[in-house]
Amino acid sequence: MTHKAVLLDTSFFLRFLNEEDPLFKNADGYFQYFIRQEIAMMISTISIAEYCAGGDVLELPLRNLQIIPFNLDHAKKAGEFAKITFRNKNTLNLKDRNIIPNDTKLFAQCDCEKSVEFYLSSDTQSQKVYNLLKQNSAPKFQFIDLHTPFNETFGILDIEID
């Protein structure tokens, strides 16, 4: 039986590992929710590389994560997603940054990995790419915006039980 899983992007870990970040509380809420609901938390080797540009891999909560290497199936799907994105690049109104390759690679991993139902990010530019793909393709996963608390995303009451 395949359990549900979420792919967490680099922006999630930047917030989760910094208690001073305005989105720390949301990130921590999702992390605890996923543990309680036994939703597997995954990280891509792509996100690990991005994180290591400014941090150390040992800072990541690796004992709670499944590491997903980028493989041939992911590469083929990323090419499909990149083609859609490049064709419609002018309609996205993206800020000046090169996000298309990594976004489409991470989205391809979500789409190819059977258990992944969610992609969690605070990156609003990345969400624009996802929305474009959703209009032109049929990604099987849901984009979750870290700016929205977990209880709102999953429609549950956020009450503490002692």
CATH of the domain at 118: 3.40.50.1010
pLDDT at position 156:
87
Evaluate whether residue 143 is within a structural domain: yes
pLDDT at position 93:
72
Across the range 126-138, mean pLDDT stands at 92
pLDDT at position 153:
96
pLDDT at position 127:
92
Evaluate whether residue 124 is within a structural domain: yes
Look at residues 113, 103, 114 and name the one whose alpha carbon lies nearest to residue 47.
Answer: 103
How far from each other are the two terminal CA atoms of the chain, in whole angstroms? 32
Q: Which structure tokens are listed for 8? A: 């967490």
Length of the chain: 162
Across the range 120-131, mean pLDDT stands at 93
Q: Which structure tokens are listed for 70? A: 């980028």
Domain that holds residue 104: 5-153
Evaluate whether residue 158 is within a structural domain: no
pLDDT at position 100:
59
pLDDT at position 162:
47
pLDDT at position 95:
61
Evaluate whether residue 49 is within a structural domain: yes
Evaluate whether residue 159 is within a structural domain: no
Look at residues 62, 65, 49, 78 and name the one whose alpha carbon lies nearest to residue 6.
Answer: 65
Please give the DSSP secondary-structure letter assigned to residue 53: T
Phi, psi of 145 (to 5 degrees): -90, 120
Evaluate whether residue 48 is within a structural domain: yes
Q: Is the pLDDT of residue 85 over 90?
A: no
- Number of domains forming the structure of the chain: 1
User: What confidence tens digit (pLDDT) does each residue in 46-72 have?
Assistant: 999 999 999 999 999 999 999 999 999
Task: Give me the residues paired with residue 40 across strands.
Answer: 5
Evaluate whether residue 106 is within a structural domain: yes
Residue with tokens 């680099």: 10
**Strand 116-121's sheet: what is its strand order?**
65-68, 40-44, 5-8, 116-121, 142-145
Evaluate whether residue 160 is within a structural domain: no
Across the range 127-132, mean pLDDT stands at 92
User: What confidence tens digit (pLDDT) does each residue in 5-48 have?
Assistant: 999 999 999 999 999 999 999 999 999 999 999 999 999 999 99
Across the range 106-112, mean pLDDT stands at 97
Q: Which structure tokens are listed for 111? A: 């789409």
